[in-house]
């Protein structure tokens, strides 16, 4: 497909989405990229969930929420925030999540499982960073 | 009109200061906000001088990278859908609320409205579309639309502050926030709203400013002390700026009941179009002349009663000349000689934000009793013959002032303000 109409991404745009996350999260991300360690991926996903959580609800939520915790009812996400989490993961790992997929992840456990299936088991694109 | 409109709160994030006291001091002392600050890494770009906002870093398209003064508590739920200039607007809004003695809970009773003006965020739009093109529209930021299109200010601020009255955005380029002020005055006069909040904001980055370069509208003068010199015969274009200014307007009886101190009263406004060119002023300033006359008529005052005119003059050769001709037509030919200055010589040109910013400057001048000068003016253009263009700020209290704005397509908007 002809690509010459494509706009150029501004040069300043590409800092890592995880740049402001704790060092252990960035380390886990780097470890996953090297080793495909699914536990390391879990660490990153849970940090992303926590980062996107409304602060008022986060203050009353365990640092590692239970797999049964519901993203909207228990963790305070609205549908846009949920879409933001998914976009963050899409952007980080260069994958696409459909609306149908989105409807299958109501809980933290479902999200962890979904990401493992979608990313850890899929071939890693060379440009994910 | 039996209902009158008072300005009871102001907020500033500008190139000449991020609070009213600093802005006022810099206007009175003629200190400009310009700096040599290239907007992209290309030495071939002739535009070297801009008027940046200090103490904010919002150059990145990712809100995670942004910083702003710590005294403002900007929650993540709001931040995630803002454009960079929305950060300026939030901080100016917080200032204006505090200045007016209001809190967020005062804004949700349906009697308060919000009119905003910005061009949207070219930076965010460019970034989001570039991402979308790169992945062939398979994915994108869910906040991409509301953080980038014109209207981003009103979407975000109305939601954050729980404003349930009239909410809208105005798009008439450099007259946008002056339209917002004018129509807000009407909302209150007509009894539709008791309080209106006006927000003007713009970004200063390559995406917003440098597209004006091919129009030859930007100054290429590399000297920050003279790049913006409205009405000067050597002017060569405008100097861009960003930031945000917020005004709170209240019906006078509401302001009195609350014990709110007023900066000024807005006693009239008017607008007219050139009907002439998409991008340049009518050579006789015909639309601006008509807008001034309509504003004066609406306010019920004569040209001779106006003490000060805050001119739109951006320092472009064509625009300043047209405004000078229009001012002579309205004032000089009527035997009136108000003080005229363009504060863009100090601030740079804030595009959609300019009209609200300068209405706020007029409010400061009316309350504090001074009239800003033209400190960068050396040789006035011969089109200015007969106009009173002092270089220094005058420590003389004006009673009535006129605030001019003009935008693309020949939109012209003028406000008349009176000492409260």
Q: How far is residue B46's CA from residue B181's CA, in Å, rounded to a whole number?
A: 35
Asked if residue A127 is part of any domain, the answer here is: no
Asked if residue A125 is part of any domain, the answer here is: no
| Closest residue to A84, CB basis, from B61, B136, B142 | B142
Strands (E), B175-329: 195-202, 243-251, 264-273, 308-310
Asked if residue A31 is part of any domain, the answer here is: yes
**A/B interface, count of CB pairs below 8 Å:** 62
Q: Give residue A3's pLDDT.
A: 38
Residue pLDDT, tens place only, A72-86: 999 999 888 888 998
Angle between helix A38-52 and helix A108-115 axes, rounded to 10 deg: 130
Show the CA angle centred on residue B325, arms to residues B321 and B330, nearest 5°: 145
Contacts of B292 (CB under 8 A, 6+ apart): B270, B326, B327, B330, B402, B404, B414
Tokens of B25: 């001091």
Alpha helices in B190-316 (DSSP H): 206-209, 252-258, 286-299
**Reported confidence tier of residue A14, pLDDT bands at 50, 70, 90:** low
Same domain, B20 and B38: yes
Same domain, B336 and B196: no
Same domain, B12 and B129: yes
Burial of residue B70 (CB within 10 Å: 0-12, 13-18, 19+) is exposed
Using CA atoms in the order B164, B6, B330, B388, what is the torsion angle rounded to 10 degrees?
A: -120
Asked if residue B23 is part of any domain, the answer here is: yes
Contacts of B39 in chain A (CB under 8 A): none
Q: How far is residue B33's CA from residue B25's CA, in Å, rounded to a whole number?
A: 12
pLDDT of residue A11 exceeding 70, the answer is no
Domain that holds residue B276: 268-419
Q: Does A87 touch chain B (CB under 8 A)?
A: yes
Same domain, B178 and B38: yes
Between the CA of residue B283 and those of B215, B288, B291, B324, B399, what are the distances in Å? Answer: 17, 11, 15, 10, 31
Q: Where is the domain boundary, B228, B258, B288?
A: B258
SS3 A60: coil
Residue pLDDT, tens place only, B248-258: 999 999 999 99
Between the CA of residue B124 and those of A86, B81, B203, what are the distances in Å? Answer: 20, 11, 11
Q: What's the mean pLDDT when you consider all of chain B?
A: 97
| CATH number of residue B287's parent domain | 3.40.47.10
Residue pLDDT, tens place only, A76-125: 998 888 889 989 998 898 888 888 888 888 999 999 999 988 887 666 65
Count other Cβ atoms within 10 Å, centred on residue B262.
21
Same domain, B182 and B298: no
Nearest to B317 by CA among B384, B376, B232: B232
Bridge partners, B264 (sequence order): B7, B419
Question: How many separate domains does chain A show?
Answer: 1
Domain that holds residue A107: 21-120
| Closest residue to A55, CB basis, from B75, B127, B135 | B75
Alpha helices in B237-316 (DSSP H): 252-258, 286-299
Q: Does A2 touch chain B (CB under 8 A)?
A: no
- Cβ of B139 within 8 Å of Cβ of A55? The answer is no
Same domain, B215 and B304: no
Q: How far is residue A14's CA from residue B317's CA, in Å, rounded to a whole number?
A: 40
Same domain, B346 and B411: yes
Q: If you search the block for the tokens 């000067």, which residue do you land on? A: B232
Question: Closest-CA residue in chain B for A21?
Answer: B64
Q: If you search the block for the tokens 């952007």, which residue do you land on? A: A91
Mutation target vs B (from A3, A4, A11, A13; most B CBs, 10 A cutoff): A13
Using CA atoms in the order A65, A68, A73, A78, what is the torsion angle rounded to 10 degrees?
A: 70
Same domain, B244 and B272: no
A72: left (phi > 0), else alpha (psi -120 to 50), else beta? alpha
Asked if residue B218 is part of any domain, the answer here is: yes
Asked if residue A126 is part of any domain, the answer here is: no
B354 vs A57, more confident: B354
Q: Give residue B332's pLDDT.
A: 98
Contacts of B205 in chain A (CB under 8 A): none
Instruction: End-to-end CA distance of chain A: give it in Å, rounded.
Output: 25
Asked if residue B64 is part of any domain, the answer here is: yes
Mutation target vs A (from B77, B81, B136, B155; most A CBs, 10 A cutoff): B77
Q: What's the mean pLDDT when you consider all of chain A?
A: 82
Same domain, B252 and B134: yes
With beta carbons less than 8 A apart as the criterion, state whether B360 and B247 touch.
yes
Question: How many separate domains does chain B show?
Answer: 2
Q: Which residues of B are catalytic?
A: 174, 312, 349
Q: How far is residue B360's CA from residue B354's CA, in Å, rounded to a whole number?
A: 10
Q: Which residues of B touch A (CB under 8 A)?
A: 41, 59-62, 64-65, 75-77, 80, 123, 126-127, 129-131, 133-136, 138-143, 207
pLDDT tens series, chain B, 420 aa: 589 999 999 999 999 999 999 999 999 999 999 999 989 889 999 999 999 999 999 999 999 899 999 999 999 889 999 999 999 999 999 999 999 999 999 999 999 999 999 999 999 999 999 989 988 898 889 999 999 999 999 999 999 999 999 999 999 999 999 999 999 999 999 999 999 999 999 999 999 999 999 999 999 999 999 999 999 999 999 999 999 999 999 999 999 999 999 999 999 999 999 999 999 999 999 999 999 999 999 999 999 999 999 999 999 999 999 999 999 999 999 999 999 999 999 999 999 999 999 999 999 999 999 999 999 999 999 999 999 999 999 999 999 999 999 999 999 999 999 999
Contacts of B348 (CB under 8 A, 6+ apart): B15, B33, B34, B50, B51, B228, B238, B239, B240, B241
| CATH number of residue A36's parent domain | 1.10.1200.10
Q: Give residue A125's pLDDT.
A: 56
With beta carbons less than 8 A apart as the criterion, state whether B30 and B346 touch.
yes
Nearest to B404 by CA among B355, B349, B333: B355
ipTM score: 0.74
Asked if residue B170 is part of any domain, the answer here is: yes
Show the CA angle centred on residue A86, arms to residues A84 and A87, nearest 5°: 65
Same domain, B253 and B386: no
- Cβ of B130 within 8 Å of Cβ of A17? The answer is no
Q: How far is residue B323's CA from residue B332's CA, in Å, rounded to a whole number?
A: 13
Q: Where is the domain boundary, B258, B290, B316?
A: B258
Same domain, B26 and B170: yes
Asked if residue A11 is part of any domain, the answer here is: no
Asked if residue B263 is part of any domain, the answer here is: no
- Cβ of B126 within 8 Å of Cβ of A97? The answer is no
Burial of residue B184 (CB within 10 Å: 0-12, 13-18, 19+) is buried
Same domain, B221 and B325: no
């Amino acid at each position: 497909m002809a690509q010459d109409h494509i706009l150029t991404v501004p040069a300043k745009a590409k800092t890592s989405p995880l740049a402001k996350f704790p060092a252990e999260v960035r380390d886990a991300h780097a470890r996953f990229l090297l080793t495909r360690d699914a536990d390391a991926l879990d660490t990153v996903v849970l940090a992303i969930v926590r980062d996107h959580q409304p602060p008022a609800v986060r203050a009353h939520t365990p640092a590692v929420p239970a797999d049964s915790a519901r993203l909207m009812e228990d963790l305070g996400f609205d549908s846009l925030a949920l879409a933001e989490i998914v976009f963050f993961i899409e952007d980080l790992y260069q994958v696409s999540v459909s609306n149908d997929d989105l409807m299958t992840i109501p809980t933290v456990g479902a999200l962890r499982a979904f990401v493992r299936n979608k990313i850890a088991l899929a071939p890693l694109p060379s440009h994910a960073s | 009109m039996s209902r009158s409109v008072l300005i009871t709160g102001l907020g500033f994030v500008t190139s000449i200061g991020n609070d009213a006291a600093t802005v006022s001091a810099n206007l009175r002392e003629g200190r400009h906000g310009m700096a040599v600050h290239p907007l992209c890494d290309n030495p071939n770009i002739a535009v070297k001088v801009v008027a940046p906002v200090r103490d904010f870093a919002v150059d990145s398209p990712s809100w995670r990278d942004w910083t702003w003064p710590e005294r403002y508590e900007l929650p993540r739920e709001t931040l995630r859908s803002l454009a960079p200039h929305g950060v300026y607007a939030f901080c100016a809004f917080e200032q204006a609320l505090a200045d007016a003695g209001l809190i967020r809970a005062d804004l949700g009773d349906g009697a308060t409205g919000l009119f905003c003006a910005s061009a949207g965020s070219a930076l965010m739009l460019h970034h989001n579309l570039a991402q979308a093109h790169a992945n062939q529209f398979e994915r994108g930021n869910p906040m991409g639309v509301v953080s980038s299109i014109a209207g981003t200010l009103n979407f975000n601020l109305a939601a954050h502050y729980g404003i349930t009255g009239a909410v809208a955005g105005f798009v008439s380029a450099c007259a946008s926030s002056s339209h917002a002020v004018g129509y807000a005055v009407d909302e209150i006069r007509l009894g539709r709203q008791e309080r209106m909040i006006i927000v003007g904001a713009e970004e200063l980055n390559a995406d917003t400013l440098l597209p004006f370069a091919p129009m030859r509208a930007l100054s290429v003068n590399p000297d920050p002390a003279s790049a913006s010199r409205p009405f000067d015969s050597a002017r060569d274009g405008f100097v861009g700026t960003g930031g945000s200014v917020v005004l709170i307007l209240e019906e006078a009886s509401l302001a009195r009941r609350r014990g709110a101190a007023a900066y000024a009263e807005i006693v009239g406004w008017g607008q007219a179009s050139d009907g002439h060119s998409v991008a340049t002023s009518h050579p006789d300033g015909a639309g601006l002349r008509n807008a001034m006359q309509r504003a004066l008529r609406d306010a019920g005052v004569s040209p001779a009663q106006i003490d000060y005119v805050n001119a739109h003059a951006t320092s472009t050769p064509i625009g300043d000349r047209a405004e000078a001709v229009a001012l002579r037509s309205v004032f000089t030919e009527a035997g009136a000689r108000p003080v005229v200055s363009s504060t863009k010589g100090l601030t740079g040109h804030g595009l959609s934000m300019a009209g609200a910013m300068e209405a706020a400057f007029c409010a400061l001048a009316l309350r504090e009793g001074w009239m800003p000068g033209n400190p960068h003016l050396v040789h006035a253009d011969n089109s200015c013959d007969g106009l009173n263009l002092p270089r220094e700020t005058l420590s003389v209290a004006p009673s009535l002032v006129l605030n001019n704005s003009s935008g693309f397509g020949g939109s012209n908007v003028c406000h008349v303000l009176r000492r409260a």
